[in-house]
Amino acid sequence: MEIKKDPKVDLRKNSSLYFVIGLCIILFITWRAIEWKSYEKDLFEYQTLDVDSDDEEEIPITEQIKTPPPPPPPPAQAPTEIEVVKDEEEVEETIIKSTETDEDEIVDVETVEIEDEEDDIDVPFAVIEDVPIFPGCEKVKKDQLRNCFQEKINKHIKKNFRYPEIAQEMGIQGRVLVTFIISKDGSITNIMMRGPDKNLEKEAKRIISLLPQMTPGKQRGRPVRVPFSIPIIFRLQ
């Protein structure tokens, strides 16, 4: 004969729920026991401070003594008698000669020669009246000289360009800005470079120093110094 159990009387039905609830209660009691703090009452006894007694300060009563101003000085008395003294000394009158000249008189005037000093004025390439002439642009029209100058200098850079071997091995590349001056005799002077590496700057200076002698630029018919700048790009392929 099999024994049948009534599900309502089964004690294991909600055992897991009771276990979880009991575990939570135990954990809560343990946490509160760990966090419980107690303090000694003697450490937090406050002392009253009498503020009114410290703020009261006795200020001594002083009396300002007023001193009377000094009396004004007595007025100066004018003399009652005035003596007149005769001037017996004779004064010689000085005769002032006129500096005006007659028409008949001839005055020698020294002629002074004033030499026109030409200052070293730098006139930028973009605003100069007569641009420097690159060799080979002599027969070009005046309004086309700037373009011819640019084309010639670009061809010169491409012709003489050499990438430094050290910069190639180190993978250095970049843009070097070169500025120089075309002097009054057409020569290239004051070459200055600014770039990412000294080897690239050295190569850019070498290229610009090989520029030929040019016809100098002119401003108001006089030769002047013309500054010019151009970028040289070093790029590895």
Backbone torsions φ then ψ of 194, nearest 5 degrees: -150, 115
Q: Which of 214, 192, 23, 210 is nearest to 137 (CA)?
A: 214
Distances 150 to 25, 130, 147, 157, 206 between C-alpha atoms, Å: 92, 15, 5, 11, 19
Residue range 142-234 forms a domain whose CATH class is alpha beta
Burial of 137 (0-12, 13-18, 19+ CB in 10 A): buried
**Consecutive 10-residue runs of the chain (237 residues): their mean pLDDT?**
60 78 91 78 49 54 66 68 56 62 54 53 88 90 90 92 89 92 92 92 93 91 92 88
Q: Tokens representing 35?
A: 């966090």
Q: How far apart are CA 147 and CA 159, in angstroms?
A: 18
The pLDDT value recorded for residue 122 is 87
Q: How far apart are CA 146 and CA 130, in angstroms?
A: 9
The pLDDT value recorded for residue 114 is 47
Domain ranges of the chain: 142-234
Q: Are 96 and 185 in contact (CB under 8 A)?
A: no
